[in-house]
Amino acid sequence: MRKIAPLAVLALAVTQTAVSAQTMNVQSLMDDGYTVAAVTTSQSGGAGVFLQKGSALVYCYVIETPTSPTLATQYCKPVK
C-alpha cells in the first residue's frame, strides 16, 4: 500500500494538469493575472501567444476563422 500511494498522488497531479491545460485559454489566463510576453506567427495561419505571470510562462496557440469575429484559443501549454 505504501508503494501505491505515491503513484496515486502522481497520477492525480498529472490528471489535474491535463484537465487544467484543456480548460485554459488566453482570456482565462489574462483574467488570472497573466500578461502577454510575446506573440509569434505560424505558417498555418495561427499565432502563438506567450503569457507570463511571475516566473510562470504559458504558450497558447490561437486561430482565426473567416466566420468568427474573434480569435479562438486552440490550446495552451505551460512552458518548462
**Nearest CA-CA partner of 72 in 52, 53, 49:** 49
**Residue scoring higher pLDDT (37 or 46):** 37
Give the span between the Cα atoms of 21 and 80, in whole angstroms: 14
Note the pLDDT of residue 71: 83
Residue 46: is its pLDDT beyond 90? no
Q: What is the mean pLDDT of the chain?
A: 78
**Residue scoring higher pLDDT (16 or 65):** 65
Mean pLDDT, range 22-30, rounded to an integer: 89
Mean pLDDT, range 38-64, rounded to an integer: 92
**Residue scoring higher pLDDT (72 or 51):** 51
Note the pLDDT of residue 31: 96
Three-class SS of 50-76: EEEECCEEEEEEEEECCCCCCEEEEEE
Output the CA–CA distances (angstroms, integers) from residue 54 to 22, 24, 28, 33, 79, in the order listed.
22, 17, 16, 10, 13
Question: What are the sequence ranges of the domains in the chain?
Answer: 4-79
